[in-house]
Structure 1
Amino acid sequence: MATEWKLFADLAERAGDKHVTVDAAPGDTVRDALDALLTDRPELEGRVLDEEGDGLRSQINVLRNGTNVREEEGLETELEEGDELALFPPVSGG
């Protein structure tokens, strides 16, 4: 089973694509899908992970079906069939 990540702004530029499909199935966690993404696109790691390399940078947002995973179980949120994942860098307004 594959899960698709949608990447935005400089994250898409770094990855070389706005859509990246990873090997993650229902029952896996968002962390599993993120690990698969970073294995496939290691250039994202320093931009997405904190200094310890085991959590998200505070300004990076991960959405599952449009809901920030911080409002669910964080990176331990379980994936379900058909989930869409999105990775957003900090957004600056003006």
Structure 2
Amino acid sequence: MAHLSTDLRAALRFFAFYLGNGTLDEDLLDGIDYRAHLLQFGSDLEMIFAIYTNVLEIDEHGETLNDGDAQYRVAQWIRKCHDPGYQVEPPFEAWETELHGP
């Protein structure tokens, strides 16, 4: 059975760390404490991980290619949830927010 690469596991770990301690893209999310909202509404957390993993690209060796971009797209989604006047640029495409699985 294959395993996720060390680089991918590290990217997921750091993403979860930044998300959990409120330091995900501090420039874009300055002054927005989204953490309590994540625990209150599980579907928000589900969408955050869907966006992150849908946007994240890995090469043939399992190395991450765009971790910062994937984190930024998640930060944009969080900002939009907490600031209705915020315009996501570019707008999300359907594949970025697609939920996979049963």
TM-score range, shorter chain: 0.3 to 0.5
TM-score norm. by structure 1 comes to 0.33
The structure where strand makes up a greater share of residues is 1
Higher Rg: 2
Tell me: higher relative CO, structure 1 or 2? Use CA pairs within 8 A at least 6 residues apart: 1
TM-score norm. by structure 2 comes to 0.31
The structure where helix makes up a greater share of residues is 2
